[in-house]
A and B are shown apart, each in its own frame.
Chain A
């Protein structure tokens, strides 16, 4: 765990330890006997001898609060510990063995969850009579299924891991695997569950004691003290205040500790300082006006950053390419090369953490005027989304809202851009245009009633509803079957012909797809474009070692994993100085690591980011 993650734990941790220490130290503190009565001075206010005053029997309130902490905490900890041991064992066995064992352990314990918790505790108290032992038992029964669930879920995911399988293959005894290998791995969520349970047990214990069904008088317990103070509330309201404060404060500290602990143990970490949904911020100052390029889309020097623990991390750097009307540009690269972020930046739909810090994205809209999308105010940009430029996404099953009819979602595109009449008919026409077999039925269907390919067709219908000038497709066929992939590619090609002049940016890792549909290609590596040019030329004669390796290493055209190139893509926060591909490049020489190479023109509308491009091929 990193230090930044531990820091928020310090305050609630220290407070919790202080409370526990006070409770443990109660016998050695110079306190009055918490059960010694002094009826003569009952309900007296604070004095030098009794700092918080005396209760309805003249007992010292401060002493009873501290001794009460002892009772409340020991009951809560004992119950939580018992529940943790029993529940973890059940969950571990159920998750490891599955089948009948799972039924007898995890599922059986879940019966308890069918009863309201307080009701179950009362039932146990009826059967066994009140008292601390009963309390611990009933709370343990209540909380054990929670542990069983957590342990079960964690065991399920941990048992499939390689080192567990390896131990099984080596013939290690089951008990040893469970105790030595699985238990330590599932411990973090159980620790969170434990601190949660302690807080919940304190609440229930005090509640039952308050009802007179928990801790038996005259033992001091916060619940009992509140019960006692209630009757004397008119004469001595402060008497009520102290135990309430102690109880609430302790539970609050425990809950806070628990929240922070969960954040610290969560591997994804806390999404800190994330601006809300309504907070798209424009980070860029206006750029100097340059004469408009004849292109449909021109991206220049696009640089994107995300905040990191040690300052901003550049995830996309100096990316540029151009697209003429009617052209298809493929952006190719491995996972993490920045190709998807580049696509989202064009739409102005970057995740909140990613900020554009430099560059321009010029798009000639339907009216022919080029605008810089990076500097356009959100309302104007929104007016362009779905009208001048549209996007289709990777997974059609998650990019359609499962709760809305398909037709309603396609119609949204029209409605958002001012169409009010005849939406229903136009939706059906659109769905027919994208080749859905029964467009009337598809319009009233829910997304789950369509196949994956049909859903993607519906997404395409929504995208082309307003005849956009630019269609962005982010891996639109990756989630589909191979046969369906081909159909979708054919459909996109047909649509492009039908919508005269529509340009397309196709983000993919699949070189076979690129060869099939793209006029131009931009190859991305580690957040940079390393080569750009006409697709046919780039494939025939690559001018960058990475492109060459890419083409060579992927006979099936799938570049998601590149086993043929030694090494791995560098992480954004640990970029090599100089050429980013140099550490994996067979042609690298000392000069390559000295300075970052610039994009060099290698031919008409062709460029590569390599010092030695002339020697490639």
Chain B
């Protein structure tokens, strides 16, 4: 098991390095000068002196390999550089906003699993029945509604029309726990509409597939009670694809809560990213993309560990 963890860890660190290098290369190898790109607005050529000054400030006049080394060196010390717009250290802003996004994504994942897994199992066990049809149709609809439509309609109905909840915003947990949770549940619930439908579908088809497997029939042939078969021989075996899919979606949510954060005015990492993209503040964009990608890699590492917990073959393999 320890060797397994160590091997996965080495691979993960390698992947983070590869992502960091890739982000660096993408920014530096695209046609056009980042400094020039940054300063040009509406097709008007920028002042050459200003461009030169910016190049100097960003170290763009150095050879590529020197830039690369100092970039990696900075990353190792947790230095992501300064934002172009206000010279603010990027890492501070990320440290402030990242936990909020993680909280949002985590809560959305939790809601999705809490609803999606049991409903998926129930639908699979009664495949073709009324319950299965109703929930499968609902999942199909949920998957077709864009997340920002769900969010906007939620705000419209719950906040504007019924005035049950605030229209969005953020309050730190320490200041007002109840209000914090209320404000968290709206965007998290909105994400969970689509994600829960995905979990439901995957769980349903996974259970159906496991039910067809020979070892379930063998357990039946031993006279094991249906409830025991479902618990011991179906659920755990059916979980692996669900873990994969949930992890994949949580990973893409790390950078994909943009829309929900925008609709509910949730000051997370994604909003920061959109602002940086709009301002073309590329050190900021690089920093955020890097953090999100590193988290993505970390998530995959955790998923591998989870596989090993679920499936003994992975541990020994």
Contacts from A to B (Cβ < 8 Å):
111, 114-119, 122-123, 125-127, 199, 203, 206-207, 210-213, 223, 226, 230, 233-234, 237, 240, 244, 247-248, 251-252, 255-256, 259, 272-279, 347, 349, 382-387, 390-391, 393, 395, 398-404, 409, 412-413, 416-417, 446, 448-449, 459, 462-463
List 21 A-B pairs, Cβ < 8 Å: A114-B293, A115-B255, A118-B258, A123-B285, A125-B277, A126-B277, A206-B146, A211-B259, A211-B274, A213-B277, A226-B149, A234-B160, A237-B160, A276-B124, A276-B125, A277-B125, A349-B220, A385-B221, A386-B221, A386-B223, A401-B237
Residues of B contacting A404 with CB < 8 Å? 232-233
- Beyond A122-B255, A277-B125, A390-B221, is A403–B140 a contact (Cβ under 8 Å)? no
What's the nearest-Cβ distance from chain A to residue B138, in Å? Answer: 12
Q: Complex Cα distance A237/B26, Å?
A: 43
Check A252 against B141 for contact (C-beta < 8 Å): yes
Nearest first, the 5 closest Cβ-Cβ pairs linking A and B are A119-B255, A386-B223, A116-B255, A252-B144, A386-B222
What's the nearest-Cβ distance from chain A to residue B26, in Å? Answer: 7
Segment at the A interface, from B65-73, B75-83, B211-219 = B211-219
Residues of A contacting B126 with CB < 8 Å? 276, 278-279
Q: Complex Cα distance A117/B254, Å?
A: 10
B252 within 8 A of A: yes
**Contacting B221 at CB < 8 Å: which of A272, A347, A383, A403?**
A347
Segment at the A interface, from B49-57, B108-116, B306-314 = B306-314
Residues of A contacting B215 with CB < 8 Å? 398-402
Segment at the A interface, from B1-9, B85-93, B151-159, B184-192 = B151-159
B296 within 8 A of A: yes
Residues of B contacting A401 with CB < 8 Å? 215, 219, 232-233, 237
Q: Complex Cα distance A390/B219, Å?
A: 11
Q: Complex Cα distance A272/B258, Å?
A: 40
Check A349 against B316 for contact (C-beta < 8 Å): no
Interface residues as binary, B243-261 with A (CB distance below 8 Å gives 1, 0 otherwise): 0000000011111101100
Residues of B contacting A234 with CB < 8 Å? 160
B273 within 8 A of A: yes
Interface size on B, residues (CB 8 A): 76
Check B217 against A393 for contact (C-beta < 8 Å): yes
B302 within 8 A of A: no
Q: Complex Cα distance A125/B277, Å?
A: 8
Residues of B contacting A207 with CB < 8 Å? 146-148, 258-259
Q: Complex Cα distance A111/B25, Å?
A: 14
CB closest chain-B residue, reference A379 = B225
Residues of B contacting A259 with CB < 8 Å? 140
Q: Complex Cα distance A386/B205, Å?
A: 29
Check A119 against B214 for contact (C-beta < 8 Å): no
Q: Complex Cα distance A277/B216, Å?
A: 11
CB closest chain-B residue, reference A417 = B223
Check B156 against A240 for contact (C-beta < 8 Å): yes
Q: Complex Cα distance A244/B146, Å?
A: 9
Interface SS, A side: helix
Check A402 against B311 for contact (C-beta < 8 Å): yes
Residues of A contacting B313 with CB < 8 Å? 402, 446, 448
Residues of B contacting A400 with CB < 8 Å? 215, 218
Check A416 against B222 for contact (C-beta < 8 Å): yes
Check A226 against B255 for contact (C-beta < 8 Å): no
Check B218 against A399 for contact (C-beta < 8 Å): yes
B282 within 8 A of A: yes
- Beyond A248-B149, A402-B312, is A111–B22 a contact (Cβ under 8 Å)? yes
- Beyond A226-B152, A413-B223, is A393–B214 a contact (Cβ under 8 Å)? yes
Interface SS, B side: helix
Check A119 against B217 for contact (C-beta < 8 Å): no
CB closest chain-A residue, reference B148 = A210
Q: Complex Cα distance A251/B232, Å?
A: 39
B48 within 8 A of A: no
Check A248 against B214 for contact (C-beta < 8 Å): no
Residues of A contacting B94 with CB < 8 Å? none
A203-B146, A211-B274 provided; 14 other pairs, C-beta below 8 A? A114-B293, A122-B255, A126-B280, A233-B152, A233-B160, A251-B144, A382-B225, A387-B223, A398-B213, A412-B224, A416-B223, A446-B313, A448-B313, A448-B316
Residues of B contacting A206 with CB < 8 Å? 146, 148
What's the nearest-Cβ distance from chain B to residue A340, in Å? Answer: 11
Residues of A contacting B292 with CB < 8 Å? 116, 119
B128 within 8 A of A: yes
Residue from B146, B222, B296 having most chain A Cβ neighbours under 10 A: B222
Q: Complex Cα distance A462/B224, Å?
A: 12
Check B26 against A123 for contact (C-beta < 8 Å): yes
Check A126 against B285 for contact (C-beta < 8 Å): yes
What's the nearest-Cβ distance from chain A to residue B306, in Å? Answer: 13
**Contacting B273 at CB < 8 Å: which of A117, A122, A255, A279?**
A122
Residues of A contacting B219 with CB < 8 Å? 401, 409, 412
What's the nearest-Cβ distance from chain B to residue A43, in Å? Answer: 15
B45 within 8 A of A: no
Residues of B contacting A233 with CB < 8 Å? 152, 155-156, 160
Residues of B contacting A398 with CB < 8 Å? 213-215
B228 within 8 A of A: yes
- Beyond A125-B277, A211-B274, A449-B316, is A255–B140 a contact (Cβ under 8 Å)? yes
B19 within 8 A of A: yes
CB closest chain-A residue, reference B281 = A126
**Contacting B226 at CB < 8 Å: which of A226, A277, A402, A413?**
A277
Residues of B contacting A385 with CB < 8 Å? 220-223
Check B152 against A119 for contact (C-beta < 8 Å): no
Q: Complex Cα distance A248/B252, Å?
A: 21
Interface residues as binary, B129-171 with A (CB distance below 8 Å gives 1, 0 otherwise): 1001000000011011111110011011000110000000000
Check B156 against A237 for contact (C-beta < 8 Å): yes
What's the nearest-Cβ distance from chain A to residue B70, in Å? Answer: 22
What's the nearest-Cβ distance from chain A to residue B275, in Å? Answer: 11
Check A393 against B218 for contact (C-beta < 8 Å): yes
**Contacting A118 at CB < 8 Å: which of B132, B213, B255?**
B255
B39 within 8 A of A: no
Q: Complex Cα distance A322/B262, Å?
A: 74
Q: Complex Cα distance A199/B140, Å?
A: 13
Q: Complex Cα distance A259/B201, Å?
A: 12
What's the nearest-Cβ distance from chain A to residue B207, in Å? Answer: 8
Check A119 against B289 for contact (C-beta < 8 Å): yes
CB closest chain-B residue, reference A388 = B223
**Contacting A255 at CB < 8 Å: which of B128, B143, B280, B296?**
B143
Residues of A contacting B226 with CB < 8 Å? 277-278
What's the nearest-Cβ distance from chain B to residue A391, in Å? Answer: 4
